[in-house]
Structure 1
Amino acid sequence: MEFEVLGPLVVSRSGVPVDLGPPKARALLAVLLGRPGRAVAGGVLAEALWGDDPPKSAAKNIQTYVHQLRRRLGDPGRIVHQNSGYLLRVGRDESDVTRFDDLVAAARAVHAGGEPVRASELFRDALALWRGEAYYGMVDIPIVAAEAARLAEVRLSVLAQRVDVDIRLGRHTELVGELTALAGEHPLREWIWAQLMLALYRCGRRADALKAYLRARDVLVEETGLEPGRELRDLHEAILVGAPFLDLPEPEAAGARTAGPPEPESRGTAVPRMLPGDIGDFTGHEAELAGIDAVLRGDREPDRPAPVVAVSGEGGIGKTTVAVHAAHRLRKAYPGGQLFAVLDGARSTAADPHEVLGRFLRALGMPDAAVPGNEDERAAAYRSLLADRQVLVVLDDVRDERQIERLLPGSGTCAVIVTSRPRLGGLAGAHRIDLGGLPEADGDTLLRRIVGSGRLAADPTELKRLLELCAGLPLALRIVGSQLVTRPHWKVADLVARLADARHRLNGLRHRDLGVRASFQLSYRALDPPARRLFRLLGLLDTPEFAVWTAAALLDGTPRTAQDLLDELVDVRLLSVTATSAARGVRYGFHDLVRIYARERAEAEEPEDVRRAALVRAFGAVLALTEIVHRTDEGGDYTIIRGDAPRWRPDLVAGTLPEVASPLAWLRVERLSLLAAVRQTAELGLDELCWELALGGNQLYQVMCYFDDWQETHQCALAATEAAGNRRGQSMLLMSLWSLHCAQRRFDLADECDTRALRLTEEIGDS
């Protein structure tokens, strides 16, 4: 048997695909394949198949699906009942995932042995096993989506290693096209931009390398608000001055290095500095910090266990802040460096120790090629690298003891700070700190440091009440402090009045998972029915932020009505104002957890046809905006071919737009919303809307040189129209891609698009 998940799920016997039966049976098999050789509890399977509301017959139904799968797989022993769950037996040579892992391990081994050409071939063989996105079409199941996301990250990591090998082999010319496409697919991955810049530079295209940096910076600043990292900035400066180290090293280029120990030496000698920045207004917890100092500043002997401090407490209590602050105070005591990892223990998809070990080994100076593929070997290498070094390890948001057992150093010269929500009773010999809230005096000090003493001194009675409402929770204090800073017209009494009613209290006042949900639920139930409906419908959108006309379209109502309801949602903290400026107008957005809750309520309370109709209206409003921009900028509508997708009330959309110097500014504000709309219409099978939305951004893409957006939206829409057999949409997209490729001077691709577009146009009679 062959089990393939690196693409759509396919099971075959002797090369012949096996019919896996109904969707629920396929979903069950997908969950089991994500954990081969491990039993999956019946409750986990039920949640995967039916979400939070499984039928009473769930266990019986699962038995039926298992029976069907056993029969279709032709081997009753493939799926066995074990420990109130089910286990799928898959041989190592039967899974494309394990074949991928084995090829990657072999590639790393031969590269470490001095055979980069063979390593590149093996990396390519491994990546060739991918037929698309892992578990394609099944990522609506959260547990499957988590495994697919993990595999996608692994694939990108392997791709990065293969590109690194190829660029060291002098294959920069061949890499330019691939890296350009990758930068479009993953614009926030700085390593891709770095390799593209280096490849362009080595091709003698120094100006293009510098332009690539500017594109990378634009994307990072616009989408994250952050400047490029130090490595990318340093590379940019090196290219500006033509630094000699950028030239291709001769031995590697010629592939002349003979087999032998990997270079640089695999033991690693780097001093890691992985700690996040310290917090300048840190307040309180003097006793806890003194306790950490007492344990971790003492005499350390290599033959004794590494000292461990375990800091536990509820969400939002400040565990990470205390751990990072303490670690910064201890930097001089640990000259070997500091390792830091967030293990996401409170989330459903906690960090994999295998991946964390890989990051730590690289931070300690081990070359990529020398990092073992096997977790046992990684753990052994990690302990060896830390032997006799003085390194402080900070492990944040740990789920349980098992998650970190391989991340603990074996040498007493090192030390560990662990943070977790539960108490980790299984950490032998650990010094435990149960972190409590800040006393009122410390809370007062923290608020004054955030907001300023002068503003808070005006009303000490209301300040005392505000501190009581925050109950000493540092995160809550930071949230209310930020509210006062960003709303200078508010008095403390205004904020107290907003928080006095539990239904409107800031969601951040409780941060355990159930507490967050309960807090959202209180606010949600306090809303009038129309506001509840808008909240649910807004949760359906993937866009990071939106304007009032988007809300109006979802409701199929007026902007005035939508504005009133948006204000109500903002008042109960279920929505945030993300921007208020003359050029952008008022923009709204969700906190990520609130968005998840809103979507849950929509799926539970709104019929599917109602949800779909609301999204069609919202995307139709975006399409109407693109045409408004086109008409206003060009002085008329010169569209030759228009699709049949519905436009939602262009008159209402136009009436809400702010005054701007250029109509194109309206579309630039909605750039990310347009990208999200193209992706989401493609996912929903709304192919006509999808291709018209993609084309609607052309004017912005051309004028602003947003070539990556141009490529992504059109490729996404092209896939959607091809799947739907929409030849008119395909032809229009291909003609637009012809323009893109000409602008990029990729004339071979332009000719291909032109030929395909002409053929399709002739077929449908639009020539």
Structure 2
Amino acid sequence: MEVRILGPVEPTVPPKPAQILAVLAVECGKIVPVERLIDLIWGEEPPPQARKSLQVHISSLRRAGLPVEHRAAGYVLNAEPENVDLHLFRRLVTRAGGETDLKAKAETLNEALQLWRGAPVVFAQTLDVQRLAAAEQWVDAELALGRHAELVERLGTLVAEYPLAERLRGQLMTALARAGRRADAMRVFRETRKVLVDELGVEPGEQMQQLYRDVLEGTKESRRNYLPRDAGDFTGRDRELSRLLDCDGGVWWIEGPAGVGKSALAVHAAHRLADRYPDGQLFVDLHSPSGALDALLRAMDVPSERIPESAEERAALWRATVGGRRVVIVLDGVVSVSQVRPLLPGSPGCLTLITSRSRLCGLEGVRRIPLDVLSSDEAVTLLQRILGDERVAAEPDQAGEVARLCGYLPLAVRITGARLAGRAHWPVSKLVRRLSDERSRLDELVADDLAVRSSLELTYRGLPEDVQGAYRIFGFLGLPEVPSYLWVHLLDEDVLDQLVDARLLDVIGSARYRMHELVRLHARELAEAEDPQQDREDLVRRAVLAALSTVDGLTEQLFLAVPRMQDSLGVVTAAARPTDKDAWFAREESLLTKLVERAAELGLAEIASQLAEVLVFAWFGLRNRYEAWERTHTAALEAVWKTGDLRLEAVLRCSLGQMHYKRDNLVEARSWFDTAQTLFVNLGDKRGEAVAMNGIGMVCRDLGEYPCALEALGRARELLEATDPEGVAHALYGIGSIARELGQDDQAFDTLEQAETTYRRAQSRRGEALAARGIGLVHRARGELDLAEEHIVRAHEMVAGTGDELLGCYTAQAWAKVLIRKGSFDAAEKLLHTALVGCRDVGDRFGEALVWRTLGEWRLAGGDYTGARTVLTDALASWTDLGLRLWRARTLRDLGAAHACLGDNAGAGRCWGEASALFGRLGTRESGEALQWPVQWNLVISQ
């Protein structure tokens, strides 16, 4: 069935279904979301029952025999595009653009224009612009064929339909002048000037005025300026423009990706240079060398009968025609060097500006100007020039966000500006909301005849098939960048280089590729439309395996971390290991996080979980990268829920419990561990249960719930005894640290020494250091400072060899506290400030509070009681926020001492009273010390 929308909709249906059919026909074969249909049909304020009404109207279309189908996201007209007059029109216009024969070109364009029967019921303004552009091309072809008199009547009709189309009026003047009707041509100019001044408040453009002067002087129509209208809001490009304005002729190659503003720069520069090139300012939208030469020769008034057939003879005639003249030529849209060679003038006084999306070589003596996107400030300035200062000034942050969502691409910014300019009632923030959805962003970047999608489509369709496939692969991955350790398993480097040459990819550093955000959205859209789902999923699976092959060799078994899952999904060749692990992960963290989220989004739950977990051991857990840890595991967990895999759910919950534990969110950590432990028990997974119990034990220890902690850690030790020495060491360390807090020193020594030995057998250098520090803390609590320093220094030196900077902060703090008690204040201060910076860098709130409290002790021991009170008060607030009663009590004890030393007995009494009560409830080693505190600090004062 044929569908016609270029005029009244056919087949004939009621008005609202006709509008819906027209919208679906415009997007023939593509899904149109329900919300977009409602927005387009009913506007800003749809009726409450719009969704239901839409369903009713769709039903009426189906009853009329139209193939409208419902899909998950909306509706689609399932018809061949050639059966829709709009798409037939566009195909004919495209075909005409490639015609080198003027007669065939004119006939094809005329056939396209004959499809129009009136005003469309939807997108009237946008489609009308396309019709006008086709009409102007048809008139150009007819004028070039010498059919001046025959054109006048039809041109008059077109001018009546498009009274503000200045170029169309200029074509009418040309036809009249060539037909010998000079007076009528001058009348058209006067009418044009009146319409433009009355309606728009502007004078006719330079080309129209030059045409009038030529007609007035009785000469042929102007050959001086065939440039498109200059952009009045041209923004940025100061350096590039300066190079062009300062040059004296030659050939300049302006290259850059689609929509970056190559043509705008060339046309703007050509207009600015018009006075220096008085013999002609020419513009050719390049399709073929032969056709371009024909257009250029006719623009220089070479009669049709003198233009030879062969390209070689035309090139020779072109060089002879411009020889000795000063002409600026813009060759727009070049795709190959072979297109350009015949068009280059031989005269040294000419300037040729070439624009191309491709990086091409082989043309001698060319100076290149590469263009990238605008800066953020330039993009906002462009938006401001389109919208006006007031609208941007009213919402500056939203204007900046619009520019960002446009990727600072000039075409996209210009489109959003045009949309907002045409909707004065829209706040800028409304467009921000609409652009924020990646799925519909390209739909939003359309205004009249401007569209980011169609601009990219032109480049894409000109690529070889294998390069098109690589483009789709790159887009579907959804990654901001693709480094070599990924793409070597997915793509051929030669193919990637072709995408770089087509300016669809950028090379960053060594063999690392980046795709502009809007380009990526287009590539992903094509992949989802053209590639089978299984192929797309396999692509992401291979990317994850490639990442695993690199990351897996960088992992460490972390304290209380969930053991890594075995790779049962296939093997890829191991990538070269980075020499600087920290620098590598700092660069790759965002990409690897996005890769996990992409795999999870596609339902690849197992492999997404595997990469998420490996990253904990390799980076997230070692450097407290909490945000990425949470993002990857939350994404993986959502995918796992959909599969019903309870073991994977338990593993991820356990890891999230560890993440919250390390973030000092103890109550939340306990909840995650509890749920994971229940799942593991139900699954009969004793290893998993033990890991969860270890987590529960450490949370309860920090909360001061020691009986619960000992029960959980004892159970973990029991479960792991025969299979996992490192897990046993974790449990022993927890049990020993609790014994230390309870003052059970003999048990603490015995258990922590077992932990140290077990860690050593398991070759866990980090665990061994942790246990050695724990033993040193018991000696310190007993006042055995030399022994304490021996163990803690040994731990500090071991940590230095593991690269665990955070644990190094804890060993430094423990050592500093020994030095304070020994009177080595300078050495202690240096250690404490290093530890404080380290804890802040990784966002470790517990460690930062611990160091602040120790700095308070340092000030107290050094006699700076006022400073001690200030620092300890800050530390006290941190312990309160963290909900850690034991550490609050210890800080209150020291704060009481500061008050006592300052003569504030009431303040000291309040602090010591609360500290004593807390120690008593917790049953820790300090619970019997309260009576000694006033005596101890009074003695200090008396000395």
TM-score w.r.t. structure 1 length? 0.36
TM-score w.r.t. structure 2 length? 0.30
The structure with the largest helix share of the pair is 2
